Structures are given as C-alpha cells and as structure tokens.
Structure 1
C-alpha cells in the first residue's frame, strides 16, 4: 500500500500501479502526475463521494478499483477513458449508472453490493464485455441490449429482485458461469435435506491452524469432540458477512447441505450452532494433504480464465481422471436441482493420481428438477464451463495421448463449447464419452 506522502514527494514517479487507502474524502490531484505511466489505480477503502470529470487525463489507465467508498453514481468521466477495461465499485451506495460512464473498452464491470434498481441500455453496446458482477442490488430486470454481448462469459445476479431469467440470457453463446441465487425466480432449497443435517455445537470444536480463505469464509483445521465418541480432525468453514461477489454466503451453505454425498464433493458433517457471535458455519471432512488446487484464480489480464502454473503438466490418464471426476460431480449436482455456477480449475482439488474434489459453492443456485427448457439451458451453460476446463487439461497433457484419442477429446470439447446452448451434451452424455475415451 502506498501513502500520500510518497505520492506528493515524487517518490512514486513512473509507477504503473497505485494503491491508496487512507481515508481519502477527495481525489488527490497529485495522481495526475503519474499520467505517463499509471495503468492500475486502486482507491478502495476510502470515503470518496465523487471522482474528477477529467479522469481521462490518466491516458494509460486500464483498471480502476474504487470499492468501499461512498459514491452514489458511477462517474460519467469514466466513459472518456479510452484504455479503461476493468471497473470495480463494489460496496458503495450506487443508485445510478449513466450510459456515458461506460468506457468503450469495458471488459469487466463490478457493481456488487450497491442500491441499483436499473442499468442503462448502453451496457449492451460494449462488445468486449466478458465479466459482469451485479450481486446484491435491487434489479428487477436486465437490459435486453445485453443479448448483443456475445463475449459475456460470467455474470453474477444473485440477491436481486428478478422474477425470471430472460430467454436471451439463457441463449448467450459464450456464457459459462451464472449465479442467480436469492432472487424470487429461484427454486427453494430442499427443506428436508436441510432439516436432516446434523447440528454441531460450537463448544465441541477446537480451532487449529487456518487452512485457507475465500470470498465467502475462512477455513480452519479443527478438532471435533462429539459426545461419547473419539475426537476427530475436521475442517471448519466460518462464513463472513452478508454479501460476496457471488451472492449470499448463507445460500452457499444451503447448497452445500442440499448437494448430498458424492465421491467428488467434500463431505459435510454438520452445521455449527451456538456460535458466540451467531456466525454461520459448516463442519466438513478434512481433505488429505496430497490434494492441491488445479489452477490459480483469474488475473486482471486473463479476466474470466484461470491461471495455471507454467510447469503444470499431466499424463493422459491423470487428466482423464480429473475430467471424469468433475463431470460426475456436476451430473450429481444437476440431479439434485443445483448448478454449481463456478465450475473452474481453481475450485478443483486434485492429487497425483487424478483423484479430485469440486469445492466452493458460493455461486451455486437452485433450479427445478423437471426437464424444462430453462433447466436444460441452465445445465448446458455449465457444460460450457466444463468444456473450457477440459480444454485446459488437454493443453497440458504431456504423455500417453495418441493422436486418435486427442481427436476424440477435442471433438468432445468442441461440443461442450459450441455456441448453440441447447445443442451441447448433458453431463451423462459427457461421462459416457469420457469412459469410452
């Protein structure tokens, strides 16, 4: 994190990224002294109510983060920033997005946790739009012009006031990751599954080292001492506040509990009760240390695509095991009336043999189990996410894959990613093809 003193002294001349979080109430004019170099500007965690109209003077600006401030309107001046492609205004007080505030190169827009009731039709006139984060607003509809955004791959509309999913949304050719939980349109979780979940008192748990942290919560290793039974090592996930970029953590918990048991899902042992701060949480099986993340989160440059370590390579058999495992988990979830919404390499854990687990239900949503056109479309949207993952695995196979088998894999990958949503195979068909492979 940088300081105002550094900025004003000239110490930061020539930098490409500036991070300032120091209670700012006004935009520091000294930032314009970095116009020849600045590409990423992070002003999150301040008390800003407005930005200057001439922000386009930062002519190289590509990324602007301004989350956790006090703006009520997306600044119109952003639309004149010719290189600006990523905008993040999470957790402000936004009530209006002027069409002129959307820059021509817009690729990634984050407006999570605001007070928006509508969006401008100009949003659909940004052909590069790839990632759209709108969870936690008051939207009752989406602009129909978004049907023109043929590159849109990820959209988060959880925790709004939508009564239906528009048909054009379900037909978007590139859409792969969709989260819509917490809207009136969503089917409720299975109450019987939730009621049958064991309650584990907080007093029976002893937290140990922290294992990881995501958008929705923190995971600790813990010791669970049930009454009249031996103590056992478990994992405890304690959920954070009311809203993440994907939606409500409580919806994530309901999806985890409703998913049921499957070999490629992390087992849920029970939900925590009697936490002293009434914090929601789950007790889960402890994952063997041999498992690791398949990929890293998307970067600012990759946008909606995972980042793999340069040395990540697989044999054909390991890659096939991973593909089969994830397809099997997704098929199981769809049978339970759940779409995962975030089927990605970074949410996949695997070991050297290709045994794998699909985690992180933060973007999960419920749908009817009846075979309607909408249900089929929702499931086939997720098939495209699997097709992308399959392509990433295929690109990293270094041995054991003959030319004939590669052609079979590549054809399956093409079928999963084809632009006609309903023409994609379902996961049962995918599993059959993978077993033949």
Structure 2
C-alpha cells in the first residue's frame, strides 16, 4: 500500500496543504475529505481511477488537481463544484468528452494533452481567468467561438490535432503570446534540411547535459571521416507526445531553422541509431552558460521564475534582449514561429549578455502573407514580456531603461496589429545599443 495513504489513514497528515497518492486505487479514499479545510493541491496521477465521487466539491480549498495517466473518458462534472479550483491536469487519460459543467469558475490552467477530444464546450470561453490551454494531441477540428472573449488567454497548445484552419479571431486575442499548432493538416511542409546525415558510428556519447519532455541532451564526440573530431551536444528524442506537440515536428523545425549565432541550431541529423531513435547534433555551448530563468510554477502560471538574486546592468539586459530578438527574427524570416519564446528557453553567458534561443518543441510553420505577419506579432508580445522581465532586474542607467520600457510597451500593447515585427525590434535595439556605445 502507498505509504502516503497509510499515513493519511492514521491521521498523520492532518492539516496538509498538498497530497500525492500513487495508488493503485479503485476509488478516492474517504480520508482525503478529512483534509477539506486545508488541502490545496491533490495529485492522483497514475492511480488507476476511472471517476471521482459526487461530493468531490467538499474539497472547498482545492486549487490544483492532477489526474493524468488514469482512465477517464469524461472530464468529471464534479470538478465544477470546486469553487477555488484553478489548475486541472488530465493528460493521457483517454478523455473523449468535456462537459461545460466540469469547468470550475476560477479555471486558470487546463491541461488535456494526449486524449481523444473532438469537441470543447462553449463554457470554456466563459471562464474569465483562463490563461493556459494545453490541448496538443487530440482530435479537435475547431475551438469554441466563445474563446474569442477569453481576454486573459496567454498560452495555447493546439499541435497534433485535426484543424484544417485556425479561427481568425485567435490572432486578435490581446494577451496571447505563446501558441503551437504543428502537426495539423493546414501547416504545410518545412524547408528541406541543409545539414548532413551523421551515422551513429561516428559519435561517442558523453555525459548528460539536460533532459526535457521531448528528449535527452548529452555531450558527444563527433568523428567525421574527414576533418578533425569535435565536441557537440547530442539530443536524442523520446518519440512521445509532449505538452507542446510531437518530437518529430520539433526536429523538423530545428532543421528548417538553419544556423544562426543566436539559435541552438542543428549541425547534423543522426541516422542508424541502434534503437531507431531520432537525434540531432547541435553546437556545444561553453560549460559556464546557463538558463536565464526557470519555467513557470503553479503559482506564476505563465511567467518564468527567476533567481531572486539576479541583477543585470542595462548593457547586459540590452545584449540579451538583442540576441534573443535576432534569433526570433531569423526564425520568422525562415517561416517559423518559435512558439515558446521564454527566459527558460534562453541560454546566456552569465556575464556580458551573449545569448541564444533554444528549444523548438512548440515551433510551427507560419502561413504566408498578412496571416503570417499577425502571428509574428503574437510572438512579439512574448518578446516584450521577456524584455520587461529583464528590465525589472536592471540596477542602473534609468534614462536608458526608460527607452527600453517604451519598446516593451510597444511590444505588449493590446492592439496586435500595432505591435512591431521582430525585424523592427532588432533595429530598435541595435539603435539603442549604438547610442549607448557612443555615449560611453
């Protein structure tokens, strides 16, 4: 039996605010309701449950519920009885139906990744706090038109569904900043890869550098048949659905992006892996480079979490911003939307501000013409939010910061069409950098 469940039944967890049960469970233990006055986070992932009790709303303080990996064909309507419930995660549960009454009034973050959902209720657009909507890997062909009124919606994942087009109003949402739609029929094909195939036999894998939802990154020694050996970063993809979409689409986007000094682009594509895994070779950054921030937390929802001690000079912040903007502008010129332009996907040198934009897991192919320009301006808002976060950590040069704040406001303004394109952002930042240099 789960040790946590034993402790719960003995009364050892009285007053607990968070509870994780590992199962297996046939029903939700009645003892959970003994925590109704304090319980805010409940994780029932992988417990084998197929339903929740009708009186689940007794958990009146519950704010976060994870039920991923269970077997629910229907999102339980009783969730709507939880007045404080803001975050719901039902990933990979076999969901087919999402009743409107299952959506609680304070819903902020909904994860329904990797299910069988073909329809969403109008009630989804009637939840004014909704910020994050994770729907990759379903059977959706449309979104509820009521979502046009979801003015606080900031992040949407629609990859690997059955959309033949996206609703035109989606690109007009005033706060939308991060979106992914790769793997839908309307997306088209990426440009052919311009990197060599690298046989597995030419590689000597080394130490683990990092691991994410889509794959593992290790150092590797690449020994081509001609030329010197070189140390590279090797990403091996897991081949499973992520919250952003399909790993093979991430790989295609990374290849289509090409090389750029401000992107972790591909040097080669792995072939002949003994287990059939797909992989990419990427430049190996210096060992002292680091991520700019951590990913969003349950509390911050759509905002990255920074080291509280991080302080930046204005010149450093400007350099980071300019490098990220250059990387994003290059992607847009190549017909790609990054989709996840965040500090947690930005690597920097920790000193002067040299930076690269990483992780193409949410990248999507842009449509041509005005529609593509509209989506580029959605990503401009993501950049503007990142710029604001950098400026919040600056410690000097108030006059220069004021000019950057003007650019931030232009990037995040509610009128999407009035935002600058990333090429214009790069020009503005380069001008500010030049002015700062001449002042010096």
TM-score between the two structures when normalised by the length of structure 1: 0.96
| C-alpha separation in 2, matches of 1:88 and 1:27 | 17
Partner of 2:336: 338
Number of residue pairs aligned between Structure 1 and Structure 2: 430
Q: Secondary structure at the match of 1:398?
A: coil
Partner of 1:291: 289
Q: How does 1:251-400 map to 2 (within 5 A)?
A: 251-351=249-349, 352-368=351-367, 370=368, 372-399=369-396
| C-alpha separation in 2, matches of 1:144 and 1:265 | 36
Q: 1:131-184 deviations in whole A, cap 9, x for unaligned? A: 000000000000000011100000000000001111110100000001000001
Contact 2:314 2:401 in 1 (8 A): no
Partner of 1:427: 422
| C-alpha separation in 1, matches of 2:391 and 2:131 | 23
Q: CA deviation at 1:2?
A: 5.5
Partner of 1:171: 172
Q: CA deviation at 1:276?
A: 1.8
Comparing 152-161 and 405-414, the one that deviates more: 405-414
Structure 1: where are the runs of 5+ without partners? none
Q: CA deviation at 1:233?
A: 1.5
Q: Secondary structure at the match of 1:397?
A: coil
| C-alpha separation in 2, matches of 1:26 and 1:298 | 32
Structure 2: where are the runs of 5+ without partners? 433-440
Structure 1 runs of 4+ off > 6 angstroms? none
Q: 1:396-422 deviations in whole A, cap 9, x for unaligned? A: 1112x232x222111111110011111
Q: CA deviation at 1:197?
A: 2.5
Residues 82, 279 of structure 1: CA spacing in aligned structure 2 closer, same or farther, 3 A cutoff? same
| C-alpha separation in 1, matches of 2:203 and 2:242 | 26
1:406 aligns with 2:401: yes
Residues 256, 8 of structure 1: CA spacing in aligned structure 2 closer, same or farther, 3 A cutoff? same
| C-alpha separation in 2, matches of 1:25 and 1:272 | 45
Q: Secondary structure at the match of 1:431?
A: helix
| C-alpha separation in 2, matches of 1:199 and 1:24 | 48
Contact 1:87 1:110 in 2 (8 A): yes
Q: Secondary structure at the match of 2:395?
A: strand
Q: CA deviation at 1:325?
A: 0.4
Q: CA deviation at 1:26?
A: 2.2
Q: CA deviation at 1:55?
A: 1.0
Q: CA deviation at 1:188?
A: 1.3
Partner of 2:438: none
Comparing 273-282 and 127-136, the one that deviates more: 273-282
Partner of 1:54: 55
| C-alpha separation in 2, matches of 1:308 and 1:2 | 34
Comparing 214-223 and 324-333, the one that deviates more: 214-223
Q: 1:256-312 deviations in whole A, cap 9, x for unaligned? A: 000011110124121111112211111111111121110101000000000111011
Contact 2:89 2:110 in 1 (8 A): yes
Partner of 1:92: 93
| C-alpha separation in 2, matches of 1:138 and 1:35 | 36
Q: CA deviation at 1:240?
A: 1.3
Q: How does 1:125-164 map to 2 (within 5 A)?
A: 125-164=126-165
| C-alpha separation in 2, matches of 1:98 and 1:126 | 14
| C-alpha separation in 2, matches of 1:33 and 1:101 | 23
Contact 1:159 1:182 in 2 (8 A): yes
